[in-house]
Amino acid sequence: MCGIAGYVDLAEGPSEAILRNMASEISHRGPDADGIWRDDEIGLVHTRLSIIDLSESIQPMSSRSGAITFNGEIYNYRQLRSQLAADFVTHGDTEVLLHGVDEHGIDFLDRIDGMFSFGHWDLEGRCLLLARDRFGKKPLFVSQPRPDLLVFGSEPKALLQHPEVDRSLDQDALREVVRYRAVYGTQSLYSGIRQIPPGHALEWRGGDARISEWFDAADLVVRRGEADDQSSLEREFMESVEARLVSDVPVGAFLSGGIDSSLVVAAMRRLKPKEDIHTFSVSFEGDPDDEHEFASTVADRFETIHHRVVVGQSDFIADMGRYSRIRDAPLSEPADLAVARMSGFAREHVKVVLSGEGADEAFAGYPKYQLAGLRPWLVGGMSLVPIGLAMRLARVAGVSERRVNVALQAIRQPNELARISQWFSAGTPDRLQSVFPRLWRDFETQGIAQKDAFDRAASRTEDPVRRMQFVDLVTWLPGNLLERGDRMTMAEGLEARMPFMSAPMMKIGLGLRSSEKCSMRVTKKPLRDLAEKMVGADIARRRKWGFRVPLKKWFESDLNVELKRLLGVSDSFVAAYGDRDAVDGLLAEHEAGVEDHHMVLWTILACEAWFQNRSDSVRSHS
């Protein structure tokens, strides 16, 4: 796991100073080593976190045919190595990727089991190939300020070190952050920088940039899962975990005590029956519903060395500015900071962790999937229920008021796409428009990326659960969860691997009929059945809880004070784009207990922390 950057300039050639500055900006991604490779037209940058082939595999790496800077891991590199004609001089996956692309070009990507983004320079053809893995586990940003100049890197801050990259803020992307807590599709928060989408590659030759899709994730929603019984799912899962244990350094795991992370730890123990396994969980000060007891139960059951990290309001206040700058965007989830803190602690013991990302999206684990196929008449009836009455009924029934409120906000939207888009929003369009009126002009309630994803899924399946899963797969996952996982772990020099996100596992999950995955009584049924066998019924039958930060309570105390402090700055985000009176009204209602506004308040706080902590070189409000 590493940081990559570079640029090709046909007019002036690469500057050593610019390349050094690019490397400095992403040094946190690779604290073990760094390197620069230059040719007449191009410079490649690499910062290394040594995981495989520790003393060799120095990057950027070159051959007689090409040069490469690579971020990620190729788990099946040993098998691929045996299929290539090259004479190898190292024992790692970087040289396998280099020679594989040298020999086969973009066609080699489909053979890879792993996560990656890379830049490969063809010495003979004078062509730059930039490529990103199937699901967007590793980031890749690109800018083309002029036809004969192309700049790329793992994070926007590296690209911004080139003086010609446009650093003005992209207003459409800002709207997406406010609406969806993340930037989806190909945009970034900077007008001159775009993302290469998951499963895509860009080939640049002589000023001509062409992007192509080498992996079509939409095919997953039309294929029947190849695993029709629990034994084949278990076999595929075990193979995925085993592949992700390939490392020359210790591997641990994030463990929440939920189904997904518990399955990962159970598989690790089966594969490593006598080795020490470090596991890590996070708790929050003042949280009455702490999951730590479940994590401890699983840790004891599989005899791991378990570490608990406790995070409080003071940590959020102290860290938000730093991690916002690392992420190059507002922190989309309160859990971002918790993941960063946990990663910093984990890095003292291991360099690699396994985590459970992707399981909910692949196997329909979110409660919202249970409501995806509701009949129109039922949706209409539920939309008529007053919010206040619904909250009172939820309290009587012992159901989470927060979840009921989120569900009603989504169900009240006018169509299926609007409902899908609303589920992960911080608030309703009307509420957010009242807070950010100057940012909201001419903004649709669904972004382009969601609409494109929905249309692609709708053309392939009539199953509403699969449609929702696909939209999440190509927007929510790469734009939010995977980006969070990459930035927050790499900020602390830690690599995270995701067994549920192997291509075969995603194919199984998305390919299963929705009735096999969820119903009104249960979510992600195949994984619950597997967990009952591998972990135990007490964990397998738990209801989904999630990474829940006690924001409601915190915004009644210290976070409330911090937000008011940030709002008082003259060049605040709200001063530039929002309505201070509307924000003050939300704060007053929240303090008085009139209505819980913690997610909207979090969005405002996250935007302020990012906006006010960008480096001076990118402070323009344009």
- In this structure, the answer to whether residues 609 and 544 fall within a common structural domain is no
Which pLDDT belongs to residue 522?
92
Which of 148, 180, 215 terminates a domain? The answer is 215
Which pLDDT belongs to residue 269?
98
Residue 116 has pLDDT above 50, yes or no: yes
Structural domain boundaries, residue 46: 2-215
- In this structure, the answer to whether residues 264 and 413 fall within a common structural domain is yes
Residue 243 has pLDDT above 80, yes or no: yes
pLDDT digits (tens, 9 = 90+) for 30-53: 888 889 999 999 999 999 877 765
Give percent of the chain with pLDDT exceeding 90: 68
- In this structure, the answer to whether residues 109 and 196 fall within a common structural domain is yes
| H or E element at residue 603 | helix 598-611
- In this structure, the answer to whether residues 91 and 234 fall within a common structural domain is no
Which pLDDT belongs to residue 10?
95
Where does residue 521 rank: exposed (0-12), middle (13-18), buried (19+ CB within 10 A)? exposed
pLDDT digits (tens, 9 = 90+) for 514-552: 989 999 889 999 999 999 999 999 999 887 666 678 888
Which pLDDT belongs to residue 390?
66
Which pLDDT belongs to residue 56?
72
Strands 61-62 vs 66-74: parallel, antiparallel or unpaired: antiparallel
**Cα angle value 200/202/205 (rounded, 5°):** 160
For residues 282-303, give the mean pLDDT.
88
- In this structure, the answer to whether residues 562 and 536 fall within a common structural domain is no
Which pLDDT belongs to residue 479?
93
Spatial distance between the Cα atoms of 331 and 322, rounded to a whole number of angstroms: 11
Residue 320 has pLDDT above 80, yes or no: yes
For residues 606-617, give the mean pLDDT.
82
Sheet holding 305-311, edge to edge: 305-311, 278-284, 251-254, 352-354, 495-497
Residue 384 has pLDDT above 90, yes or no: no
The mean of the pLDDT values for the chain is: 90
For residues 480-507, give the mean pLDDT.
94
- In this structure, the answer to whether residues 456 and 514 fall within a common structural domain is yes
Which pLDDT belongs to residue 618?
47
| H or E element at residue 482 | helix 482-490
- In this structure, the answer to whether residues 77 and 135 fall within a common structural domain is yes
The tally of domains found in the chain comes to: 3
For residues 294-321, give the mean pLDDT.
95
- In this structure, the answer to whether residues 418 and 512 fall within a common structural domain is yes
- In this structure, the answer to whether residues 21 and 52 fall within a common structural domain is yes
509: helix, coil or strand? helix
**How sure is the predictor about 494, in pLDDT bands with cuts at 50, 70 and 90?**
very high
Q: What is the CATH number of the domain that holds 379?
A: 3.40.50.620
Residue 123 has pLDDT above 50, yes or no: yes
- In this structure, the answer to whether residues 339 and 222 fall within a common structural domain is yes
Which of 522, 549, 576 terminates a domain? The answer is 549
**How sure is the predictor about 616, in pLDDT bands with cuts at 50, 70 and 90?**
very low
Residue 223 has pLDDT above 70, yes or no: no
Residue 621 has pLDDT above 60, yes or no: no
pLDDT digits (tens, 9 = 90+) for 423-459: 888 888 888 999 999 887 655 555 788 889 999 998 9
For residues 251-271, give the mean pLDDT.
97
Residue 383 has pLDDT above 80, yes or no: no
**How sure is the predictor about 620, in pLDDT bands with cuts at 50, 70 and 90?**
very low
For residues 141-156, give the mean pLDDT.
97
- Asked whether the beta carbons of 386 and 377 are under 8 A apart, the reply is no
Asked which of 171-180, 347-356, 377-386, 401-410 is least confident by mean pLDDT, the reply is 377-386
Which of 516, 549, 582 terminates a domain? The answer is 549
Asked which of 130-139, 225-234, 463-472 is least confident by mean pLDDT, the reply is 225-234
- In this structure, the answer to whether residues 160 and 80 fall within a common structural domain is yes
Residues in contact with 326: Cβ distance below 8 Å, sequence separation at least 6, in sequence order: 28, 155, 487, 488, 491
Which pLDDT belongs to residue 619?
41
**How sure is the predictor about 74, in pLDDT bands with cuts at 50, 70 and 90?**
very high
Which pLDDT belongs to residue 400?
67
- In this structure, the answer to whether residues 71 and 199 fall within a common structural domain is yes
Chain position carrying tokens 């930039």: 130
